Chains A and B, each alone.
Chain A
Amino acid sequence: MSMRHIADWALNVANLRGASYADARIVDDRSRGLATKNGKVSHASDGESLGMGVRVIADGAWGYAASDDLSRAAVEDTAAHAVAIAKASARVKQSDVRLAPEKAVTAQWTTPYQIDPFMISVEQNIDLLLKVDSELRSVAGVTMAETNMNFHREEQWFVSSEGANIRQTKYSTGAGYAAHAFAGTEIQKRSYPTSYGGQWQNKGYELIQELKLVENARRIGEEAVALHQADQCPEGAFTIILEGAQLGLQIHESIGHPIELDRVLGMEANFAGTSFLTIDKLCKLRYGSDLVNVVADARQEHGPGLGTFGFDDEGVPAQCTPIITKGLFTGYLSSRETAHTIGAERSGGTLRAEGWNRLPIIRMTNISLLPGDKPLTLEQLIASTDHGIFMQTNRSWSIDDKRYNFQFGTEIGWEIKNGKRTRMLKNCSYSGITTEFWNSLDAICSRDEWTLWGTPNCGKGQPQQVMGTGHGAAPSRFRGVKVGSAFRGN
């Protein structure tokens, strides 16, 4: 029995029970996770999950039901359940759901990849991780070493009552490591390529080969230990330069989330919060300086980000939406249901679900700060800075529920004096108000320094869903930023 046939069982029952719209997503998910700690394999697991979610509109309201049972009886029960739920939803509604029109297509799309990560032997992967682990622990003073490697494959069939029939297969790969050093009354940590799981992209095993994991391990271990001797990051207003991965998270929190139209409309008010970016600010708010150009780009040509796909989870093709254009706020992340609220004729194609058992909601795609036009390397940027602090690798992150006030900590920093990177600084942090911060940007490195970073763990929705998002960024400079208040009073 083909997945198309199974999906049709659901759509037929939804139609018979009175749904005015229905779609079915069957998802077959496979994952592998490997990790080491202090010279041992600490985690080795494979996982798979198969099931179907049915989304319907009946009596002008939404219903969603999902099941792991793909037998005909269970599929039909699930579809009938979705319609019954929608009719219950209709008891508490202010208006009927409206969907922006979208051409129904028949299509197939697969993540371009060179090496299927599931074809690489587990032994080879564990050997690589243990080699990194050994390098980290070869540094005296490293008290804990952790490594991880993860692979994910998701095959999805999307069929709708409007005639869409889309099969999509996505691969993602991630890897990273961290060295911890405990001494006296301090725990310091350094991570590579970035913290909280490392770098993730929609690629095959070739990502692992590109990351130069072993080559950087000893330096990371040494930096973790050296932080104990470093000076405390000063407090005050400073010029700061953020490296790409930290800037990626800054984009995620202070641009990516506020532009989610469901947040703006109050649909996430109980958990994730709302947004300061009310609709009256569209095409009026000066979000950043003239150098700030940000796009939401899910297309493959943008790169292999965790927000790259062929179609979103309601069958809308991947698109590029200008979010900030020369500093002006120009676009939101939208869906078929929300597009009309900003006068758009079509969804921006950003509705995604964590799996078959979750309702698709608006999610960031690849929210990227475009690189500077003029050639500028990180070293040239530092050389052109009289006094400032260069901060690298996220350590903590927090932002209020309207996305105004943020505070980030980084694992390491260096003071810049007279165009040169000088003393190492520990416990670096900076904070600010979103639009004030982006308006203080005065330099962005060029394309050669630009990387599409992956954030694999973005939480949103109730029940909560975890989603991967992409963030392209090159090191950038900001003026007059508040530094060090995280440690004030402590």
Chain B
Amino acid sequence: MLDKSKAADIFDKIKNYSTADEVEALFYGGRSALTRFANNTIHQNVAEENYGVSVRTVFGGRTARASTNKLDDESLRRVVQASESLAKVQHPDPELLPMPASGGQKVSFPIRYFDETAAVTPEQRAEAVHKIVSIAQRHKLTTAGIFATAESIEAIFNSRSLSDWHTQTSSEISITMLAADSSGWQKANSPNVAHLDAVTLGEVAARKALESAAPREIPAGKYTVILEPAAVLDIVGFMFFDFGGLAILDQRSFLNNRVGAKIFGDNINITDDVGHPLQSGAPFDGEGIRRQRVHLVEDGIVKQLVYARATAEKMKRSEYKEKVGRIEPTGHGFPLPNEMGEAPMNIVFGVTKDPRTVEQMIASTERGVLVTRLWYIREVEPYEKILTGMTRDGTFLVEGGKVRHGVRNFRFNESLLHMLSNVQEMGTPVRASGEESFDMVVPPMKIREFNFTEVTKF
């Protein structure tokens, strides 16, 4: 494991090898392992250890980056030279800021490293998979999925004496249960492996597979839908790159001309908060600036954007400066140089006044569709934020307040503006994980007039 002391020694060497005005080093890597199963068998089982450093140099407004996972002296010298060679041939950028001397105040932060997660063995992962397979076999199903664990480091040093270090562990279980003509799915992750319950996840996935068997086709159209948390995060995740200041300046955001406007329902409140107890990740951004808590949406109104340092400076001089709310570096920048600027990546939905469980949402629904998971979501139209995708692994008809039967999967084409203006009920936000977007703290949602446009064959 690369530790802070060794990384600091390597950065000293990098500084010595560099002739640049300024130099920055990002360290990354760790140990990870993933046990993968399918057809009730462990069919892939991998482990990896890898550490690297990415060096950014600056010569009079010109900057570039080079990276290597070779940490011997000769390789470090070469990566510094590569970064400098790339930087020197750039055109000077008058908007490039000096590297920060400080990332801001370091406040208390949740512990995200757990020894028991780092210590999980292949045998322990196999034992958990054995329990999942046993559930599948008991229900005459086959199962596929993963059990993964990792420990990782993320660090930044620069020649103005900024340094910051983050280490964390992660664990994840994802399970698909397959029957002849149906399937069910569950997934959970946590920095602390003790918070994962393979048996409960397996039982829920199995129940969904069994209850959605022999799916019937119902016509496409607008339905009330109940989206479980993983389905919510996978679809809403497509809008958060538009909450960066540079997206507005580039005129590529659906929030152009909409900051300060009410674009979602009163019940939509969204914060970016890396310090939230259910969140994960490092407390600093790609330049080493400490991540702030930012209220992105309050009562359906877009209140604030997130900013890298340079974007905030640029925004203050722009035609939008009076229209975008508070402008300040918020610690959401990507490593420089980059095209995207910044984005909020630690999304937390607000708690509604009257949270409902999924079961309560079902009970209050006369006719609707319960959705476990969404799949292959892509943006169809960027300004109305129309997204397409499919339902998957457990889609049910709800009638008369009860789940009636499984239905064939739908294709949706739905505007996020429309969807988040039509949320009738919400649950308590939970840490959720999908496949199309980054992890978030999101509630299940009951939404009216969700737009299904086609039905597939299963």
Q: Which residues of A contact B (CB under 8 A)?
A: 35, 37-38, 40-51, 61-69, 81-82, 84-86, 88-95, 121-123, 126, 143-144, 146, 180, 182, 185-187, 265-271, 273, 276, 357-359, 361, 395-402, 404-405, 407, 409, 427, 429, 431, 433, 462-463, 485-490
Q: Which residue of B lies closest to A462 (CB)?
A: B146
* Residues of the B chain whose Cβ atoms lie less than 8 Å from the Cβ of A266: 38-39, 142, 144, 178
Cross-chain contact A46 with B86 (CB below 8 angstroms):
yes
* Residues of the B chain whose Cβ atoms lie less than 8 Å from the Cβ of A399: 376, 390
10 A-B pairs closest in CB distance: A88-B122, A405-B456, A269-B144, A182-B251, A44-B64, A89-B42, A46-B66, A42-B339, A64-B46, A270-B144
4 extra interface residue pairs, beta carbon distance < 8 Å, beyond A46-B83, A488-B451? A88-B35, A144-B252, A270-B174, A487-B413
Q: Which residue of A lies closest to B452 (CB)?
A: A489
State A66–B34 Cα separation when bound (angstroms). 12
Cross-chain contact B250 with A66 (CB below 8 angstroms):
no
Where chain A touches its partner, the secondary structure class is mixed
Q: Which residue of A lies closest to B451 (CB)?
A: A489
Q: A67-B49, A68-B51, A91-B123 are in contact. Are A185 and B176 (CB under 8 A)?
A: no
B231 within 8 Å of A (CB atoms):
no
B219 within 8 Å of A (CB atoms):
no
Neighbour of A488 across the interface among B377, B392, B453, CB < 8 A: B453
* Residues of the B chain whose Cβ atoms lie less than 8 Å from the Cβ of A44: 63-65, 86-87, 90, 337
B34 to chain A, nearest CB (A): 6
Q: Which residue of B lies closest to A397 (CB)?
A: B378
Cross-chain contact A490 with B418 (CB below 8 angstroms):
yes
Cross-chain contact A400 with B392 (CB below 8 angstroms):
yes
* Residues of the A chain whose Cβ atoms lie less than 8 Å from the Cβ of B377: 398
* Residues of the A chain whose Cβ atoms lie less than 8 Å from the Cβ of B250: 37-38, 143-144, 180
* Residues of the A chain whose Cβ atoms lie less than 8 Å from the Cβ of B331: none
B216 within 8 Å of A (CB atoms):
no
* Residues of the A chain whose Cβ atoms lie less than 8 Å from the Cβ of B451: 488-490
Neighbour of B435 across the interface among A66, A67, A271, CB < 8 A: A271
State A41–B411 Cα separation when bound (angstroms). 39
What 0/1 readout, one digit per residue, does chain B (135-155) give for beta carbons within 8 Å of chain A?
A: 000000010111010000000
* Residues of the B chain whose Cβ atoms lie less than 8 Å from the Cβ of A92: 37, 40-42, 126, 129-130, 133
* Residues of the A chain whose Cβ atoms lie less than 8 Å from the Cβ of B37: 92
State A85–B90 Cα separation when bound (angstroms). 48
Neighbour of B339 across the interface among A43, A49, A61, A182, CB < 8 A: A43
B233 to chain A, nearest CB (A): 16
Cross-chain contact A85 with B47 (CB below 8 angstroms):
yes
Cross-chain contact B383 with A65 (CB below 8 angstroms):
no
Neighbour of B383 across the interface among A64, A121, A187, A270, CB < 8 A: A187
State A64–B70 Cα separation when bound (angstroms). 21
Interface size class of B (residues with CB under 8 A): 35 or more
* Residues of the A chain whose Cβ atoms lie less than 8 Å from the Cβ of B63: 44
- Indicate the member of A86, A90, A91, A143 with the most B CB atoms within 10 Å: A91
* Residues of the A chain whose Cβ atoms lie less than 8 Å from the Cβ of B256: 182
Q: A407-B388, A462-B36 are in contact. Are A180 and B453 (CB under 8 A)?
A: no
Cross-chain contact B453 with A485 (CB below 8 angstroms):
yes
B25 within 8 Å of A (CB atoms):
no
Cross-chain contact B130 with A185 (CB below 8 angstroms):
no
Cross-chain contact A357 with B456 (CB below 8 angstroms):
no
Q: List 6 A-B contacts (CB under 8 A).
A: A37-B250, A92-B41, A276-B457, A358-B46, A396-B379, A400-B411
Cross-chain contact A490 with B386 (CB below 8 angstroms):
yes
Cross-chain contact B376 with A62 (CB below 8 angstroms):
no
Q: Which residue of A lies closest to B174 (CB)?
A: A270
State A361–B386 Cα separation when bound (angstroms). 34
State A357–B64 Cα separation when bound (angstroms). 26
Q: A122-B85, A180-B252, A407-B388 are in contact. Are A64 and B144 (CB under 8 A)?
A: no
B44 within 8 Å of A (CB atoms):
yes
Chain B 309-326 interface residues, beta-carbon cutoff 8 Å to A: none
* Residues of the A chain whose Cβ atoms lie less than 8 Å from the Cβ of B414: 490
State A286–B362 Cα separation when bound (angstroms). 42
* Residues of the A chain whose Cβ atoms lie less than 8 Å from the Cβ of B393: 401
* Residues of the A chain whose Cβ atoms lie less than 8 Å from the Cβ of B29: 68
Cross-chain contact A186 with B383 (CB below 8 angstroms):
yes
* Residues of the A chain whose Cβ atoms lie less than 8 Å from the Cβ of B52: 49, 68
